[in-house]
Every structure is written in structure tokens, then in C-alpha cells.
Amino acid sequence: MNEIARACESVRLRIQAAASRTGRDPNSIRLIAVTKTVGVERIRQALDVGIYDIGENRLQEAESKLASLTDRPITRHFIGHLQTNKVRRVVELFDWIQSVDRVEVASKIQQYATRPVSVLIEVNLAAEATKSGVPESGLSALVQAVSVMPALQLRGLMTVPPFVENPEDVRPLFRRLRELGRQFDLPELSMGMSHDFEVAIEEGATMIRLGTALFGSRPAIP
């Protein structure tokens, strides 16, 4: 068994354990392999052991990699910051866009979509100035705007909490995202990364986005 296969197996056991602690079905949690900086060969190793969902945050990097994986049955998730001038290409390349955070971006998706696109609204729960995501105060208006765009299938909410040493400290934010999901009747909750996914699962995550836990640590991004 290679290193990635081992990592996948260990992650699956941890997903099961976290799910069973709260009486959840582990199959209700979609594992998205975040493959930024990971080369195609290693991505294939993950696909070989039952990964079907790939997350990328940079369009340029994703373009060439996804082009060489068209022989595989993968669902592609865009999880990075969206610039309006990149939306056209993102719509062509990705099945899910998880990082809709303003009306301008949603309108561009509507403009360029040639098929229904599943989207999540990214919420900046800690209101961090340097991060993408709509602040909670703007969520209601954005949900309403997206809901009337026929090409956008609004499926849920996504969040990237601040990095903290102790994942317990972000539990209230995951809980808050779940409350907001319930309030707006949005079933999908994309929350939880390598160091905090178990807490996110306990709080109701339906999608977790893991890079480091599957592929090891990445080179620092400038």
C-alpha cells in the first residue's frame, strides 16, 4: 500500500469514528481531496483508492491537471477565491463552485452557465478582513439573490474558519454554520479541513475538504 492509500484509510477511520460519536452515517459525509500543489500522479493514487471528489483553489493550476484526468469519474469542486474575470472558465471546468461570496460572482456564473451549476455560499463567520466569504450580515441578501438565478443550484454553505491551535475553539463557528444552513433551508455544509474535520463532522459537516491529511504538507505558497 502506498503512502496516499494509507493516509486515505486512516482518514476514513477517523471519519467513521467522528460520525459514530454523534450517531451520524459516515456515508453522509463527502470526502473532498484538496489537490492544490499535488501532481497528477499522486492525485491518481488517491483516485485509485476511492476518492471521487477533487477540490482546487487556483484556476490556472487546476486547468492543466484536470485536463489530464478526464478519463476518471471525478466531481470537481472550486474552493478558492473567485475573481469575476475567471468565472467563465471556472464554470466550464468545475461541477461545484463552493466559494460564491458576492452577487457579482453569482451573476457571472448565471451569465456563463450552459448547464445547472451546484453552488455553495462561502460565509466569513469570523469576519476576518483578509478572507473571502460574505459576512453573516450579508448572507440573507445573497441567498435571496442567488435563489432567483435559474442556472445556480444553491445547495448549501461553506466556511474556512481561522486557523487555531486547538480545533475545539472553532466548534462554535461550525455550529453557527449549521444553524445558518437550517435557517435558510440549505442542506449542504462544507466545513472541516485537515486539523479540524472531526469537530466539523460532529457539528454536521456534509463535506470535508482535506489536503494535508491525505497528501502530506504542502510547500509554502507565496
Residues forming contacts to ligand PLP in the complex (CB under 6 A) are 34, 36, 57, 79, 160, 193-194, 209-213
Min dist CB 142 to ligand PLP, Å, is: 18
- Nearest-approach distance from CB 21 to ligand PLP, in angstroms: 20
- Which candidate, 91, 90, 148, 89, places its Cα nearest to that of 117? 91
DSSP string over 42-77: HHHHHHHTT--EEEES-HHHHHHHHHTTTTS--EEE
Q: Among residues 10 and 140, whose Cβ is nearest to ligand PLP? A: 10
Report d(CA 153, CA 95) in Å as an integer.
11
Nearer of residues 147 and 216 to ligand PLP, judged by Cβ: 216
Nearer to ligand PLP, 81 or 151 (CB): 81
Instruction: Please state the closest distance from residue 31 (CB atom) to ligand PLP, in A.
Output: 11
Please measure the distance between the N-terminal and C-terminal CA atoms of the chain and give it in whole angstroms: 33
CA–CA separation, 152 and 144 (whole Å): 12
Closest approach, Cβ 89 to ligand PLP, in A, equals 18
Which residues sit opposite 103 in a β-bridge?
none
Which residue number is nearest to ligand PLP in terms of Cβ?
211
Nearer to ligand PLP, 149 or 205 (CB): 205
What cell numbers appear for 1 in the block?
Answer: 500500500
